[in-house]
Structure 1
Amino acid sequence: MKRALIVRHTPVEGAAGYRRPIEDAGYDFHRIDIFDPGFRTLDWLAPDLIVVMGGPMGVYERAVHPWIDGEVAGLAARIAAGRPTVGVCLGSQMIAAALGAPVYPGPVKEVGFAPLRLTAAGSASPLRHLSGVDVLHWHGDTFDLPQGAELLAGSDLYAHQGFRIGDSLLALQFHAEMGEDPRFAEWLEDVDYIVDAGTNPDALDAAHARLGGAAVAAGRAMITEWLGRLPSSR
């Protein structure tokens, strides 16, 4: 059986809605946290699929989080080898850094459900399932588009919301995996961050209840199609 490894930077940001399509595609599901003893010696080339999830830290906070250097180096090696890789939010920023692009604080915090603006390439990619769908955004950092990357999506506040290189690398700044996961209640506890973004926990909770199901369904369709396009799946 193929092996999928989910890299978690915090327990409240796991594969969530993406787990089902990964398992349905025939992957044996595993996870590793950055504080697990085996993380520092992780063989980044070994898993058939790696999905790098989000977290509250910034890629540029390497003095505070010394493990970031190892993760970026591991991702760089994996990407160079053409191994299937997905990055979500912080994971997308890690991928950008692994490709040599700068990652830095954005102009505002983007928090809440809102649609994406797909590029022509995005409309022809698995992200087409997200067209017109409000998905969750929860970030304050951004990145320059890496050299050789194809931009797939932006939003009203951030130009770079998704990119790919070939069929084996997908970077997603947004959270189309979130909408039905009970851990969202823990996200809502970060009141200062939410208020700083110009919203409030009650409004986010209501939007989650109203829009989350459709977001997850679209996100699952996106991941299902992306997995089906992998060279090893053809």
Structure 2
Amino acid sequence: MHIHVLQHVEFEGLGSIANWITKINAQLTWTRFYANDILPSLSGIDLLIILGGPMSIHDEDEYPWLIDEKKFLSIALHNETAVLGICLGSQLIATVCGAQVYPASHKEIGWFPIYGVETDKKMFRLPNQLEAFHWHGETFDLPTGSQRLAYSASCDNQAFQIGTKVIGLQFHLESTQSSINAIVPHCDDELIPDQPYIQSADQLYNTPSDCFFTINSQMYSILEYLTSK
């Protein structure tokens, strides 16, 4: 199996997904946009993983590689490549599919529950409630023809699926304590006190370990679902 990763910033990596890739002994390749990597051919890629990042999908003037990334993703979707988009990655899928991406009513940073919804039997089913890790200030409308998978108290659309090969997650199921520790120093200006859906750096640095076991298990289930189709 060949897995290709689109990475936007050095401090947002695969997290626990790296363990799953090692376990299945898959070939792993990267496009690191922050290092000016060139996008590959889609030929032979079985799963495309699009990671998060602090930029907006609208920031093409500052990050011109977003233009090429959107074109590449559009081709991947047309070719029916399996795609997993995480946070910024999910917003990229949404915009490429014609949906609007815009500022959310509240930033969500920290551990807050998402609620899975009933889906078609062919679709991936998230738990009725799951305490997930979030770090986002924008959200999306659902792409035409997609199925909503989850919502939260502050955000109607937290996850969606298109067909059986494309899943977008606005939250982070791949997070580990190390991956959170890497993000906080780069983005701690967003940790504004007394906001309803923003936790403190101290809370983020001291997440109970069982939180990671639960979300990482869900991530592995999603990866297995996408690569079994």
TM norm structure 2: 0.89
Number of residue pairs aligned between Structure 1 and Structure 2: 225
Identity in percent:
25
Aligned to 2:180: 184
Aligned to 1:60: 58
Give the distance between the partners of 1:93 and 1:165, measured in 2 at CA.
13
> What residue ranges of structure 2 are gaps of 5+ in the alignment?
none
Aligned to 2:142: 145
Which string of whole-angstrom CA distances, capped at 9 and with x for unpartnered residues, describes residues 27-81 of structure 1? Answer: 2122220134442x43245522110000000001111111111111111111011
Displacement after TM superposition at 1:150 (Å): 1.1
Aligned to 2:6: 7
Aligned to 1:220: 220
AA at the equivalent of 2:33: I
DSSP-derived class of the 2:62 partner:
coil
> What residue ranges of structure 1 are gaps of 5+ in the alignment?
none
Give the distance between the partners of 1:133 and 1:155, measured in 2 at CA.
10
Taking a change above 3 Å as real, the CA distance of residues 195 and 208 of structure 1, as seen in their structure-2 partners, is: farther
Aligned to 2:49: 51
Give the distance between the partners of 2:121 and 2:132, measured in 1 at CA.
16
Give the distance between the partners of 2:96 and 2:60, measured in 1 at CA.
14
Q: Which 10-residue stretch deviates more, 113-122 or 149-158?
A: 113-122
CA contact (8 A) 1:122 1:151 kept: no
AA at the equivalent of 2:168: A
Counting only pairs closer than 5 Å after superposition, residues 1-234 of structure 1 correspond to structure 2 as 2-39=1-38, 41-121=39-119, 125-128=123-126, 130-180=127-177, 182-189=178-185, 190-195=187-192, 197=195, 198-207=198-207, 209=209, 211-228=211-228, 230=229
Taking a change above 3 Å as real, the CA distance of residues 31 and 21 of structure 1, as seen in their structure-2 partners, is: same
Give the distance between the partners of 2:5 and 2:120, measured in 1 at CA.
24
TM norm structure 1: 0.87
Taking a change above 3 Å as real, the CA distance of residues 208 and 54 of structure 1, as seen in their structure-2 partners, is: farther
Displacement after TM superposition at 1:124 (Å): 6.9
Which string of whole-angstrom CA distances, capped at 9 and with x for unpartnered residues, describes residues 106-133 of structure 1? Answer: 11110111221111118874343x4433
Q: Which 10-residue stretch deviates more, 27-36 or 103-112?
A: 27-36
Give the distance between the partners of 2:120 and 2:159, measured in 1 at CA.
8
Q: Which 10-residue stretch deviates more, 78-87 or 45-54?
A: 45-54
DSSP-derived class of the 1:79 partner:
helix
Displacement after TM superposition at 1:161 (Å): 1.0
AA at the equivalent of 1:11: E
Give the distance between the partners of 1:35 and 1:206, measured in 2 at CA.
29
Displacement after TM superposition at 1:217 (Å): 2.3
Displacement after TM superposition at 1:17 (Å): 1.1
Displacement after TM superposition at 1:194 (Å): 1.5
Give the distance between the partners of 1:179 and 1:38, measured in 2 at CA.
26
Cα RMSD after superposing both structures: 2.1
Give the distance between the partners of 1:75 and 1:139, measured in 2 at CA.
21
Which string of whole-angstrom CA distances, capped at 9 and with x for unpartnered residues, describes residues 120-152 of structure 1? Answer: 118874343x44331101100111111111111
Which string of whole-angstrom CA distances, capped at 9 and with x for unpartnered residues, describes residues 9-30 of structure 1? Answer: 0112111112233444452122
DSSP-derived class of the 1:126 partner:
coil
